[in-house]
Structures are given as C-alpha cells and as structure tokens.
Chains A and B, each alone.
Chain A
Amino acid sequence: MKTTILLLCVLVASICQAHCPGIAVDESNTLSVRIEFQSTVKGQPLVFSQTYTNSFGEDYKISAFRYYTGHVELLPDIHSGKLRRDHIYRLYDAAIPSSWVIEFSVLSGKYNAISFQLGIDSIDNISGARGGELDPAKGMFWTWNTGYVMAKLEGESAFSNVPTGMFSYHVGGYKGRYNTIRRVGLKFSPDQQLQIARAHAVTLVIEADIDKWFDSAHKLSIAGKSFLHSPGEWAAVYADNFSAMFKISSMEFK
C-alpha cells in the first residue's frame, strides 16, 4: 500500500511538472532547455534569394518553409519511459526568427536523446475551430478536405513542371496509411549525455537540411513532382523525407 501511494505521488509530481507550468520547481533541480530550429541547405543557413542545386542537378530557390512541431520530449537513459515536457504545438516559419526557438524546463537528470513530433495529432485535426498556433488563419489548413498542412515547402526551379516555374509541396493528412505525422528522435553523444546530466541549462541547435527534402528516404526530383496540395500516398512519401531532414548541429551547456 505504501508503495502504491509513493508511486502515485511520483506520478502526480511528474504530471504536474508536465502540465502545470505555473507551479514553481526547485531551481537547483531543473534543467532549462532551449531549442533553436535552423533551416540549412547542405550545412549552410538557408538564404531565401539564393539558388541551390539538389542531387539531381536541379536548381531551386526557396520562398517559404513552414512546419508544425509538438510533443517535445527529453528521453531519460533508463527505460522507465519518456517524460513528455512540452505539449504545445508550434508553427516554425523560416521567415520569422521568433518562431525558431522553443524554451521549457525539465527536472535535471541523465538524458540520452531528444524527440519531437512533426505535425498535428489526428484528434486535433477533427476537433473543430482552434485558436493560437492552430488558428486556420495561419494558412496551414485545408478548407475543402479538413486537416492541417503539417509542412509546406515552396519555391521556384527551372525544372518545375508547373507553368509558372514554381514548386509547392503541402504535406498533410492524418488518416490511416496516409498519415503524415512523424516522430523524430535524435540521440546525444556519450559526451553530451555526461554534460547534460551536470548542466543547469542546455541550448540545442537542431537543423533541418532542405536538400534532403528531395533526396533521403525517397528520391523525389522537382521535375518528377512539382506540386502537391492534398493528403494521400505522395504526402506520406514526402513526410518520410521531411522527417529525415533533422539533426542536432550543436549542444551548449551551462
């Protein structure tokens, strides 16, 4: 019986940690986490006006890159389960620097990986009018086939098969095998694991390499497909490539 109560207390404590950001936690016992999402092309920060070349030799310029993240978790090294720390969805927009940073706190401890979701849970795709980051006015919402666009990449290329020379990929869909929600897990190196266990604060820079949108899990040339604005088989394929774009480029500790 005593152990049950103890377990319950631990549970309550951990849920409160996760869900009641208002409750103060002992400073000395917490780790402040700051994540900066960065868009890159082949390791260099994305520049909107610049022309790049993908692995198929196709030129491209990016004009928009936006995506939803959510359910960010630090994974402890014991297999006792993951601690969900940040339920909130965020819309990353390569054009709006204030959207690049996520900050939250967790209990300090030994963590060996970070994990986050790309996209919006199915339940949140079917539950009506939402506000904040999920406001349909943000332009990440399909009005004729209800659901969120999880990621958007737009630009131009001489190889586009659309008359205007534009390419436009809107990746979304939450149903069955066409589900485009993906979870990304990024491991820390042994050295980073040691350091995070001792730190009060950590800043992670996570970069998404846009070149991989075209070539990673699947080979997707611009000439082959320049336009995608609906859920389905193709969206799921692009979601695979999208989720393979992410890696930790640096971690700094305090």
Chain B
Amino acid sequence: MMRKIIIAICVFLGAGLFTFQISEKEFFSRHALSATPMKFKIPKGFPGPQYKFENNPLTVEGFELGRKLFYDGRLSKDGNFPCASCHQQFAAFATFDHALSHGFKDQFTTRNAPALFNVAWMKELHWDGGINNLEVQPLAPITAGNEMAENIDTVIAKLKADPGYRRMFTRAFGDGRINSQRMLKALAQFVAMLVSANSKYDKVQRGEAVFSPSEQLGYAVFRSKCAACHKEPLFTDDSYRNTGLTVNGRINDYGRMAITGNPNDSLKFKVPSLRNVYLTFPYGHDGRFYSVGAVVDHYRFHVVNGPTTDSLLRNKLNISDDERFNLLLFLRTLTDSGFISNKRFSAPPP
C-alpha cells in the first residue's frame, strides 16, 4: 500500500516535470505527431551518433523542408549562395576545385569547405570545432559577411512571405509558425541524414566484395600509418591535431586555439574523414593540397615540427613509393558513388 502511494506520488511528480519540459521546447505543436516519422539508420559497425535526435524527431516532412532550405538561395543576402553553392553533392557536399569557397560579393572564405556526410557523428563542427551542435551550425554561414551575409530576421521574413514555406512548415511542425528554431531543426534533419557508408570498403567489410591485392596492401599501410587519426569506420577520431603544416601568412589561421584560447591548441585542426576523399579535392583546412598524393607526400617529406606538432608525425611517415601507390588505391575504395547520386539528397523539384 505504502509503496503504491509513493509510486503514485513519483508518477505525479514526473508528470509535472514533464509538462514543464514540453513548454520549454514548444517548437513542435501536438499536430506534428501526424508528420511521418523517419528512421535514422546506423550503418553496421558504426558507433551511435553524437547528434541527439530525441530533441528533433526525424520526419519525412522535416527532412524535405530541410532539403528545400539547403538548396534555397534566399538564405543568402543576394540570393546566389544557398548552402548547396559551397556544398555540392557531386563533390560529396564539399566545394569542388576551390581551395577556399566564395560567397557574397566574391569574397573568399578563409577555410576550405568540408564535405558533408556522417555529420551526425561529429561531436563538434568546423575545422576548429567552434560549433558545439549541428542545429546552430547554419547560423555561422548565414550571418558571415564573406559567405551568405544575411541576418536571421531577414531570412525568416523571406520564408514567411512564401506560402509554399508556410505549407511545408505546417506539414513538418503542425502549424505555420516560422522561426529560427524550426528552420534550424529542419536543416539539421537534412544534414544529419547525409550518411555515406556504402563504398567498396564498406562492401568488403560486409563480405559483399573483396579488395584487389594492391588495395589489400594499401589497406595494411593505411592501418599502420594513418588509422590512429583517421580511425575506422568514420575515418576520423574527431580529435584536433597539428600535422606540421606551416601557417599561411595571409590568413594566419591558428585553428583550435581561437576557440579554446589554449596555446597548446595552436595550429590544431579537426581530423577530416577520408571517406569520399577522391571527390573532395582540394585538401587541407585551407585547401593547399591539390591531390591526395600531395597530402601523403607532406607526411613523408614536409612535416615542419613546432611545439604542438603531433608526436605521431614528428619523425615524418616512412612510406615507400610502392606503399604510397597501394595506399592511394586503397583510398579510392572509400568513394561512395551511391551517395553522390542519391536523388533524395539532390535539389528538390521546384
């Protein structure tokens, strides 16, 4: 009896807290439950994602809204720079052939636009990890003067003026209210769904394909020289490292240190994934490398030691020409052609 009373009280108490929680994040109205739920599939062998889908339940309608926003130039000041202008699907959502992307009034960004896939597994975003949650990431490009150069209120006003958006927000969130929170949650749904896990490498892991002898040898080189930082299966360990690149004196980018204020983080940048690496040319945080081979040669010959250079690279990497050849063949098996041709991720029909 006593027990039951206590349990009842606890339930009551829990319910009280719950209603309170709901009012805190009221971005979903009750009707939203009628939107079609969508599942985030974790590929075999992948860890659980970092992005908390609990706070942003995936729905077909939310994803489609995010997709439309991603391809919509109205998110930028002059209408010319949607997210997709720098993040191009055929380049695994990196900027193809541009060391630094360009945005509003032909100004250049100070960093190379990273590819976008498996972003849901990232603890922090951007080369310096300055962004702590996928949902707020779009605020950086939208408001940066050299990227989309727009302000949030103006973007929201542009969306509100469009009956098509009012319909899509209603479908995704239950009513037609348009605000920054809903726009950002929808964009996060689209970006988080960009999962790439169907390369030849993945098929080999699943026993559906086999490496050629050269690829197999290259894989062994990769495992011994690269995998400590470019850790499988994501091909990044999500850490920040100094790979011994010299500072570009015109940009003076010290990476992670700008975020933490810690001199030990000087010149450290986030380890990028090597999946789809043959699609994301050029390479490095400032796009200074014009081929994958050039990056490998940097590790072999050009590492410059400074106080924060990674201990794994201080003595450079001892890789023979043969090993380099096989390694590059292995890296080609990381291309996921199904990902870049997936119609669900391409520009929505008008």
Contacts and interface: CB of A to CB of B under 8 A. Distances in A.
Interface string A44-62: 0000000000000000000
Interface in B110-155: 126, 130-136, 139-140, 142-144, 151-153
A213 to B, nearest CB: 22
Interface string B17-30: 10110000111000
A130 B77 CA distance: 23
B2 A128 contact: no
Interface string A108-132: 0000000000000000011111110
A232 B261 contact: yes
Nearest to B183: A129
Contact of A136 (B126, B180, B185): B180
Given A1-B2, A8-B9, A135-B181, A128 B135 contact: yes
B334 interface: no
A130 B181 contact: yes
B56 interface: yes
A53 B25 CA distance: 44
Interface string A3-17: 011001101100110
Contact of A128 (B12, B56, B143, B152): B56
B152 A136 contact: yes
Given A8-B6, A15-B17, A128-B55, A146 B131 contact: yes
B136 A143 contact: yes
A137 B156 contact: yes
Q: In this complex, which of B6, B132, B179 has the most chain A Cβ atoms within 10 angstroms of its Cβ?
A: B132
Q: In this complex, which of B55, B136, B259 has the most chain A Cβ atoms within 10 angstroms of its Cβ?
A: B136
Contacts of A227: none
Contacts of A218: none
Contacts of A231: 261
Contact of B130 (A5, A12, A145): A145
A143 B143 contact: yes
Contacts of A146: 130-133, 136
A12 B135 contact: no
B124 to A, nearest CB: 9
Given A8-B9, A129-B184, A136 B139 contact: yes
B16 interface: yes
Nearest to B139: A143
A96 interface: no
A144 B152 contact: no
A14 B158 CA distance: 45
A253 interface: no
Given A8-B6, A127-B133, A15 B144 contact: no
Contacts of A8: 6, 9-10
B188 interface: yes
Chain A contact residues (Cβ within 8 angstroms of B): what range?
A: 20 to 34
Interface in B1-58: 2, 5-6, 9-10, 12-13, 16-17, 19-20, 25-27, 52, 55-56
A178 interface: yes
B132 A125 contact: yes
A12 B9 contact: yes
Nearest to B140: A143
Interface in B175-195: 179-181, 184-185, 188
B181 A126 contact: no
Contact of A12 (B2, B12, B188): B12
Q: In this complex, which of B19, B25, B151 has the most chain A Cβ atoms within 10 angstroms of its Cβ?
A: B25
Contacts of A19: 16-17, 19-20
B327 to A, nearest CB: 35
A233 interface: yes
Nearest to B143: A143
A126 B130 contact: no
A231 B258 CA distance: 10
Contacts of A143: 136, 139-140, 142-144
A24 interface: no
Given A128-B136, A145-B259, A233-B261, A135 B180 contact: yes
B246 to A, nearest CB: 24
A126 B17 contact: no
Nearest to A20: B16
Given A1-B2, A9-B9, A129 B180 contact: yes
Given A129-B180, A145-B130, 10 more contacts: A5-B6, A8-B6, A19-B17, A135-B181, A144-B126, A144-B144, A145-B259, A146-B130, A231-B261, A232-B261
Interface of B: 2, 5-6, 9-10, 12-13, 16-17, 19-20, 25-27, 52, 55-56, 126, 130-136, 139-140, 142-144, 151-153, 156, 179-181, 184-185, 188, 258-259, 261
Top 4 A-B pairs, shortest CB-CB distance: A128-B135, A129-B184, A129-B135, A137-B152
29 contacts: A5-B5, A5-B6, A5-B9, A8-B10, A12-B9, A15-B16, A16-B16, A19-B16, A128-B55, A128-B56, A128-B135, A128-B185, A129-B27, A129-B133, A130-B181, A131-B25, A131-B26, A131-B179, A136-B139, A136-B152, A137-B153, A137-B179, A141-B136, A143-B144, A145-B259, A146-B133, A147-B132, A231-B261, A232-B261
